[in-house]
Amino acid sequence: MFKKVVLALAVALVGLGAVVASRPSTYHIERSITVAAPVDLPFGLVNDFHKWKYWSPWDALDPKMKKTFDGPYAGPGAIYAWSGNKDAGKGQMTILESQPYESIRILLEFSEPWASTNTTTFTFQPVAEGIRVTWAMDGQNGFLGKAFSLFLDMDGMLGKDFDKGLATIKSLTEGEAKNRREREARLKAKAEEAAQAPAPAAAPQATTTTP
């Protein structure tokens, strides 16, 4: 009886291993949103790691998270490293490529809670309503990752965070775009008011007489 149980377990493990091995070796997550704002606003929020605290869905996971910045202040070569609690984990991001107002490619490396390397890409495409911002992530599934994929849907798990981050980018940039329009309107009104104002009367010239 015991041998039969052991044999059944062995067959089950082999079968499970075969199922895990058959899972996709890569994964792709992608979300998009349309922003009614000049492209420099959403691009700037992504291209500068110092500004990620304003919109990143993961930045608030640990209020005491340690952060360090290295390399250029923004753009290619900029590095952002973090170390936080079990929810935030530990890792770093490096901007590999930044095409102004078109795309940003980032190397995302996790060391905790497990090691993984992913590529994150942001693209900014002009559309009739404004700018279409797309956030995508591509990664590799090792055996452990394939096993997790049997129970966890990466797209469903991270996709909601992408949606949240993009929604915050939309809110921030559209708010700033509105502020810009209002500032420009006030400056234009002042310029027009100054142009229409009557010129100041010339001061009378002093005259001298010869005694």
What backbone phi and psi angles, to 5 degrees, belong to 185? -65, -40
What backbone phi and psi angles, to 5 degrees, belong to 56? -60, 130
What integer pLDDT is reported at residue 210 of this predicted model? 53
Eight-class DSSP state of 143:
H
Weakest mean pLDDT among 28-32, 83-87, 135-139: 83-87
Q: Which residue has the tokens 């590999």?
A: 96
**Residue 54, SS3 per DSSP:** helix
Determine if residue 17 is left, alpha or beta; phi over 0 gives left, psi from -120 to 50 gives alpha, anything else beta.
alpha
Residue from 53, 55, 75 nearest 173 by CA:
55
Instruction: Say if CB 190 and CB 54 are below 8 A apart.
Output: no
Q: Take residue 89 and report the two structure tokens written for it.
A: 């984990």
Distance CA 171, CA 146 (A): 36
What integer pLDDT is reported at residue 169 of this predicted model? 98
Eight-class DSSP state of 6:
H
- Which residues, in sequence order, are CB contacts of 141 under 8 Å at separation 6+? 23, 24, 25, 26, 27, 149
Using the predicted structure, report yes or no on whether residue 9 has a pLDDT greater than 80: no
Using the predicted structure, report yes or no on whether residue 159 has a pLDDT greater than 90: no
Domains and CATH numbers, the chain: 21-180 (3.30.530.20)
What integer pLDDT is reported at residue 114 of this predicted model? 74
